[in-house]
Structure 1
């Protein structure tokens, strides 16, 4: 997937029949890959009487994604639950950013190539943890919540000083190769599966351990303005996401082929099929355990606003599905 410049496209935002969408790297965005591959937004748009023009972007890291959304250079952003909650918190009463849908529940693994590191308590000043957005992304916030459990709320940023911002593909390559400052990587599918095929790499923590079970990894989100001013486009987009989820569930082998094709991935098809069929992974648009992040990050002072339920930070269209 090509990385397209964000410059000069702000004029397309908030125009009914236009939608610009940013995704990041990894199989956590398979629902979007299927939507794109099968032109489902355009298909659903015709049901609404619209010819929808779709623009796709690929970016790495929640910070860049959120800046693009708030500047008007994007209509729809995608990132982990904590970055979405951060921008929801900071835009209340202004842009009023909220989530559209989940992109699926899947674990993220904290991996290490340091044999001395068996769990996060073993991490030392000699270790560096690669994450897409140090201190603020899904992986960092998940680690902060776990750190608060172990060391107390006052020390929840203990491992921020060891964290380095690096896109998943680069971090994965560094972890597998060894010999760099990167000794750990808070990874995501498919990268964690690829890394674990190497004997020097082992898992020290899963995001599911932190959440107490399966939980949403990535979500899609937008501003109140885009939601309200583009009702037909928004409905078509939401319907396309729901359709893509059903397509994946119906034929996971075909979905794996779609990922390889859409992402121009060099990974073996057998590996991608294994990931898509992993019982830990569910490509559902229903949010799962997102409220744990909202609750814990408010307790830690990361979020100023307290959510009473997951529905506070999701647009109403998502309420028709189960959620948490």
Structure 2
């Protein structure tokens, strides 16, 4: 290695150290990333990164050379967690509850431990229904099936439990669990709009919630923000050993994430176009811009309100381990931010 390359590598390692990563030799780091995101607007930062090739550009800028990206679209906490534990994913976007479930389950198991890489997003998560009698949570019966990406551990499933606990008491948090059916958002939206299946409701994020509500036969029952306010609904995580083995790659990833969030804030129209190119939904660019600008939409690497999920899930026995702080869940590079 000549002097110029040596100085460049040393500078890169210094930057990684300043972000709180454990430093390993550059030659040990991966040149290929396998990343997953879901379907809705909650995944917009990852979708923008994918469309605009921001990770590849940041890798070149950091002197890591060509980075090969393998993108997957996965929906539902159980599916994402299984893929991560099976070693077929390096980095994933998922609902905060699904991440907390895996964090608690894998804690203390060296080859399975996971860690939060960053917060990601919040949006208007809404329970929509196609049956007129479903006006409140109390109106649901065994015949009124609720579609959500994954039963019990997905974002929508846990948020539904939290809404139920607020209305009927914490001891009854699982009251609607028997009515839930695991379906990816696109399939759930189709089922709800058709009105010809057992699906009577869908806990949906934009654009699916908006598409559904554009149909006069669909109405809103309740929204997540009614209970959770401005909390981070989706986060980004990875296996702890992968993060520790690839400090410069993780530095590149965080730089690309910050770039994506800045891109979304400065040019919502371009972000909407990127979203539609990747997801190919039936929403127009104008529809997606409205979703991005919605007061409930927020895109940030800083996690907010994640401990609210952790405390609830521990209290009802969904997880056995409760973090003392949000910092227990996320990489040191985020610890100087105002998270919660």
Q: TM-score, normalised by structure 1?
A: 0.92
Q: Please tell me whether residue 231 in structure 1 is matched to residue 247 in structure 2.
A: yes
Q: How does 1:1-324 map to 2 (within 5 A)?
A: 15-51=29-65, 52-94=67-109, 95-211=112-228, 213-324=229-340
CA RMSD of aligned residues (A): 1.4
Q: 1 CA distance for matches of 2:283 and 2:173? A: 36
Is the 1:176–1:201 contact (alpha carbons within 8 Å) kept by the matching residues of 2? yes
Per the alignment, residue 6 of structure 1 pairs with none
Q: 2 CA distance for matches of 1:145 and 1:263? A: 29
Q: 1 CA distance for matches of 2:280 and 2:172? A: 41
**Structure 1 residue 208: Cα displacement:** 1.0
Is the 1:175–1:182 contact (alpha carbons within 8 Å) kept by the matching residues of 2? yes
Secondary structure in structure 2 of the residue aligned to 1:307 = coil
Is the 1:16–1:232 contact (alpha carbons within 8 Å) kept by the matching residues of 2? no
**Structure 1 residue 318: Cα displacement:** 2.0
Q: 1 CA distance for matches of 2:58 and 2:197? A: 47
Q: 2 CA distance for matches of 1:294 and 1:307? A: 7
**Structure 1 residue 152: Cα displacement:** 2.9
Q: 2 CA distance for matches of 1:118 and 1:143? A: 15
**Structure 1 residue 15: Cα displacement:** 4.6
Q: Which runs of 5+ in 1 are unaligned?
A: 1-13
Structure ID, larger Rg: 2
**Structure 1 residue 271: Cα displacement:** 1.0
Secondary structure in structure 2 of the residue aligned to 1:102 = strand
Q: 2 CA distance for matches of 1:109 and 1:258? A: 24
Secondary structure in structure 2 of the residue aligned to 1:222 = strand
Is the 1:107–1:217 contact (alpha carbons within 8 Å) kept by the matching residues of 2? no
Identify which range, 304-313 or 145-154, moves more after superposition: 145-154
* Number of corresponding residues: 310
**Structure 1 residue 125: Cα displacement:** 1.4
Is the 2:163–2:224 contact (alpha carbons within 8 Å) kept by the matching residues of 1? no
Per the alignment, residue 14 of structure 2 pairs with none
Residues 2-35 of structure 1: CA distance to partner in whole angstroms, max 9, x if unpaired? xxxxxxxxxxxx8522211011111211101111
**Structure 1 residue 199: Cα displacement:** 1.3
Q: 1 CA distance for matches of 2:304 and 2:225? A: 11
Q: 2 CA distance for matches of 1:247 and 1:317? A: 21
Secondary structure in structure 2 of the residue aligned to 1:44 = helix
Post-superposition, which runs of at least 4 consecutive aligned residues in structure 1 deviate over 4 A? none
